[in-house]
C-alpha cells in the first residue's frame, strides 16, 4: 500500500513539474488557459462551440480535446474554424501536463489568446492533474442532479468557475439552482457560478465576459 502511495506521489510530482513549465510558457505568451472538467455529456464541447461563436471574431482561440477514443470533439472545434488537436488517452481517465505539452508542440498552433483544454469526461481523476491552466472550470448539467457538488467535492472546491449547463431543460427536471449555489459557496467561497444554455444562449455572454476579464487581467500582470 505504501508503495502505491509512493508511486502516485511521484507521478503527481512529475506532473507538477511539467505543469509548471507549461504555465511559464503560457505566461510568456500571455495566453489564458482553461481546463474544463465534467461528467461525460454535460455539454463541454457544446459550450466551446458557443464560446467560439461569441468570441471567435475578437480573440484567437485554440482547443485541446481529451478523450478515450475518437477525434469527434476536435473535429467539432475545427468545424467551428479554430485550430484544435485531439489527445487520445487510450483508456486513461484524465489528461496530464506532459500530454498537453506534447500535443501543443505537435499541433503547430498559430499564436492564441485563449486555449480551451477539454478534459476526459469524468468528475474525479482529472481533478488532481494540473495542466498549467489559469483555472479549472467544472461543468454540471441540470440533468445530472443538484446534489453533485457535495458528492464530488474536490472538483467543485478546486474549480474557480462552476458552469451550470443546459438551463433550457430546467422546466423538465428537478434541479434546485439555489441548492447548487449554496454547495459551491461552501466548497469554494471565492468561486463563481454561471448558469448557461448553449441552446438558448442564456449565460453565454456572462461566461465570455468572464473569459475576457481574466485574459485582460493576465495581460496586465504577466511579464
Ligand atoms: N438541451 C440542451 N442540450 C445540450 C446543451 N449543451 C449540450 N447539449 C447536448 O448534450 C449532449 C452532450 O453534449 P457535449 O457537448 O458533446 O458534451 P461533452 O461534455 O462534451 O461530452 P464528452 O466530451 O463526451 O464528455 C449533446 O447531445 C448536446 O447537444 C444545452 O445547453 N441544452
Ligand atoms: Mg466533449
| pLDDT, tens digit, 9 for 90 and up, residues 5-14 | 789 899 999 9
Is the C-beta atom of 71 inside 6 A of ligand 1?
no
Is the C-beta atom of 122 inside 6 A of ligand 1?
no
Is the C-beta atom of 93 inside 6 A of ligand 1?
no
Instruction: Please determine, for residue 51, whether its predicted confidence score (pLDDT) is greater than 70.
Output: yes
Q: Which of 34, 37, 46 to mutate to test the pocket of ligand 1 (most atoms within 8 A of CB)?
A: 46
pLDDT attached to residue 115: 98
pLDDT attached to residue 116: 98
Full-model pTM? 0.96
Classify residue 207 as left (phi > 0), alpha (psi -120 to 50) or beta.
alpha
The whole-angstrom distance between residue 83's C-alpha and the CA centroid of its chain comes to 17
Cα of 17 from ligand 1 centre, angstroms? 33
pLDDT band at 223 (very low <50, low <70, confident <90, very high): low
The ligand that comes nearest to the alpha carbon of residue 74 is 2
3-state secondary structure of 127: helix
Is 122 within 8 Å of 40 (Cβ atoms)?
yes
The ligand that comes nearest to the alpha carbon of residue 143 is 1
Instruction: Return phi, psi of residue 141, to 5°.
Output: -85, 155
Nearest CA to ligand 1 atom 14: 43
The Cα–Cα gap between 139 and 165 comes to: 7
User: What are the pLDDT digits (tens) for 147-165?
Assistant: 999 999 999 999 999 999 9
pLDDT attached to residue 222: 63
Amino acid at each position: 500500500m505504501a508503495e502505491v502511495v509512493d508511486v502516485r506521489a511521484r507521478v503527481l510530482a512529475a506532473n507538477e513539474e511539467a505543469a509548471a513549465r507549461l504555465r511559464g510558457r503560457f505566461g510568456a505568451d500571455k495566453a489564458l488557459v482553461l481546463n474544463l472538467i465534467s461528467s461525460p455529456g454535460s455539454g463541454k464541447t457544446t459550450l466551446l462551440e458557443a464560446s467560439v461563436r461569441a468570441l471567435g471574431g475578437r480573440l484567437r482561440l485554440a482547443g485541446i480535446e481529451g478523450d478515450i477514443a475518437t477525434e469527434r470533439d476536435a473535429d467539432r472545434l475545427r468545424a467551428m474554424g479554430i485550430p484544435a488537436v485531439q489527445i487520445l488517452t487510450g483508456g486513461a481517465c484524465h489528461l496530464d501536463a506532459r500530454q498537453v505539452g506534447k500535443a501543443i508542440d505537435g499541433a503547430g498552433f498559430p499564436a492564441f489568446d485563449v486555449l480551451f483544454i477539454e478534459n476526459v469526461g469524468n468528475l474525479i481523476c482529472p481533478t488532481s492533474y494540473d495542466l498549467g491552466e489559469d483555472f479549472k472550470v467544472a461543468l454540471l448539467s441540470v440533468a445530472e442532479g443538484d446534489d453533485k457538488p457535495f458528492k464530488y467535492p474536490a472538483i467543485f472546491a478546486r474549480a474557480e468557475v462552476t458552469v451550470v449547463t443546459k438551463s433550457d431543460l430546467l422546466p423538465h427536471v428537478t434541479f434546485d439552482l439555489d441548492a447548487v449555489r449554496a454547495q459551491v459557496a461552501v466548497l469554494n467561497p471565492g468561486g463563481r457560478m454561471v448558469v448557461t444554455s448553449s441552446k438558448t444562449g442564456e449565460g453565454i455572454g456572462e461566461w465570455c465576459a468572464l473569459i475576457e476579464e481574466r485574459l485582460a487581467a493576465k495581460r496586465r500582470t504577466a511579464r
